[in-house]
Each structure stands twice: as structure tokens, then as C-alpha cells.
Amino acid sequence: MKIRKLGSMDASAYIKLRLEALRDTPEAFSSSYEEEKDYPLERTASRLDDVHSFTFGAFADDRLIGVVTLVPDTKIKIKHRAHIFAMYVTPNFRRTGAGRALIAKALSQAKENGTEQLYLTVTASNEPAKKLYQSFGFTTYGVDKNALKIEDTCYDDELMVLFL
């Protein structure tokens, strides 16, 4: 398995995996498949080349099988903080170390950037993801009740932080 920063040349593969993620686990993302399915390729390519964020991909045999995005804050007073977003590993590659490798890469980049506090949000019922984050030292500092509503079902989000 190989982990590397994604760029505009990876936009098609990223979109394919992102749409899979939004269909597979809609409760894990604030965006929906319906909202993102028609995003233009150029928009994703531009986001992947953004100098203010880092999207890392996990590859198995040159196939993108997992992603995570690290977004450092840029304003002077909060430059010591960063956020992890859009973490996803395709179901056939869960429990293979892909998620661990992606988080480790994001953590390494955060430290390289001088990040002191790293934040993420996870669906409260997603025990495997919470255990992964906790294994890196993330702790829950709050719960956002009914953070997402999909049709008639509400989902709580746990707000987690890691002090580096």
C-alpha cells in the first residue's frame, strides 16, 4: 500500500471514491451524493491542488482505495490548529491498515506544519472510526446532537481533538 498527496491528476479517481463514500456511508459526511454527483472535474482538480490543504490517498495496485484531507487554519490567531475531513476507506480495504496509514500521514503533515491542535468530527455511532482516532490519542470534547438528518433519522457527531 502506498500513501501520497493527491493532485489535480488524481481528480477522476478521487471523485469516483468520494461518490462511493457518500453512497456507502451518507451519515459520515455533511455533503450528500445528490449535491456532489454533478460537481465539475475542474472543481475537484483545483481543490486537490490547493496549497492550503492536503488530501492524501491510499493506493493498492495503483487503485485509490482511501482518502483523508488535512486543512490547516490560516488566520494568524488560529494558525496553530488544523482539521481532518473526508476520511474514507473503501469497504474491501478496511482493517488492512489503510485508515491507520492515512491518519498517520495526516498527523505527520500536521506536525511538519507546526500544528498544535488537530480536530475532527466523527459520527457518534461509528465505533471502528472512533477507536482508530482514539488509538492516535484523539479525545472527545463534545457531542453535536442531531448534527445530521437524513430523511427522518438524526445522527450525533462526536467532536474530537488531539493536542500535538
Q: What is the pLDDT of residues 80-103, one digit of tens each?
A: 999 999 999 999 999 999 999 999
Label residue 160 by pLDDT band (50, 70, 90): very high
**pLDDT tens profile 39-56:** 999 999 999 999 999 999
Q: Mean pLDDT across the chain, nearest whole number? A: 96
- Is residue 28 very low, low, confident or very high in pLDDT (cuts 50, 70, 90)? very high
Strand, helix or coil at 160? strand
Q: Does domain 2-163 have CATH number 3.40.630.30?
A: yes
What ranges do the domains of the chain cover?
2-163
Give the pLDDT mean for 105-111.
97
Side-chain-side CA neighbours of 89 within 13 Å: the count stands at 21
CA triple 26-140-103, angle to 5 deg:
65
Question: Which amino acid, 99?
Answer: G
